[in-house]
Structures are given as structure tokens and as C-alpha cells.
Amino acid sequence: MTEKSYLQKIEEHKGIIFKVVNLYADDLEDRKDLYQEIVYQSWSAYARFQGNSKFSTWLYRISLNVALTHLNKRKKRGEIKGESTAEPRFDPPELSERADFLYRAIKQLTEIDRSIIMLHLDGFDNTEISEITGLSKSNTNVKLHRIKQQLSTILNGK
């Protein structure tokens, strides 16, 4: 496990980190800090990556854990209150209007629900989602169904 192989894998999978950062941090400085923290934490854990799962699965798990920890620390310090209501600004700017609308809807979900739907939209099956989030597979199935209903309500303005 060399630094070069780590940096190559991070470059190949940086979209995962951007997705997580954009869903859990509101302003540019906070996104930069969170991105750096995810890269740092994943580098710290890289020597223990055994390849039992896909690198993307492993990176998602670390990214989500770091993002949720970061968010909880900010809440405890009183920097943010409850769920975010800030309008997110997404990178890259080429997102279509529909994708931006979907991100805004997802941003209204709870932290764990955001991670579940993001993983689902990225093509992870429910077993992989349960591995990454630490939820049981049946709980993941139920939550995913409820999240889809909630998003439908948000997106359709009901």
C-alpha cells in the first residue's frame, strides 16, 4: 500500500468525496475542510484496507463517517442548529437543473437518509448500503422505501 497507489485511487474516486462533501457541508470553506479531513482520515486508514470490499465501498464508509462526525462536532459547538436550511452550492457547476433540484431535495433529508439515498443512486445494492452505513439489511430496505416516498413528496411539492 504505497502513497502513489493511494493517490491514484483517490483521484479515480474523488467524485465520492465531492458528493459527500456537497451533501454535508454548506459553505466553500467548510467543504474544503471536510474534503481535506476525509482525505486525511482515509490516508490514515489506508494501510488497514485489505481489499475485502471494493475501494469505493471502503471510501464511502470513511467519507460518511467523517462527514457525520464533522457535522455533529459543528452542531455541538453551536455553529449549526439541527438540519441545514442553507442553499447548497454544488461543484462541479455543470450539474443539470434537474440534478441540482434533486440535490436540493436530498439536502432536506436527515443525515443518514442522505447517505442511504446517495449510495442507492450511485448503484450500490441494499447489502452494500447496509455494510457501509452499519444498518441491518432489513432496516436499509425499509428506510430506502420511506426515503423514496419522502423524496417523491418533496419533488412533487405535495
78-136 pLDDT, tens digit per residue, is 776 544 444 444 444 455 777 778 888 999 999 899 999 999 998 899 999 998 899 99
Closest CA to 127 of 54, 68, 63, 65: 54
The pTM score is: 0.73
Encode pLDDT of 28-45 as tens digits: 888 999 999 999 999 999
Range of the domain at 52: 3-155
Instruction: Look at the block and give the residue holding cell 474544503.
Output: 32
Domain total in the chain: 1
Residue 112 burial by CB count (10 A; 0-12/13-18/19+): exposed, middle or buried? middle
User: How far is Cα 107 from Cα 146, in angstroms, rounded to an integer?
Assistant: 16
CATH of the domain at 79: 1.10.1740.10
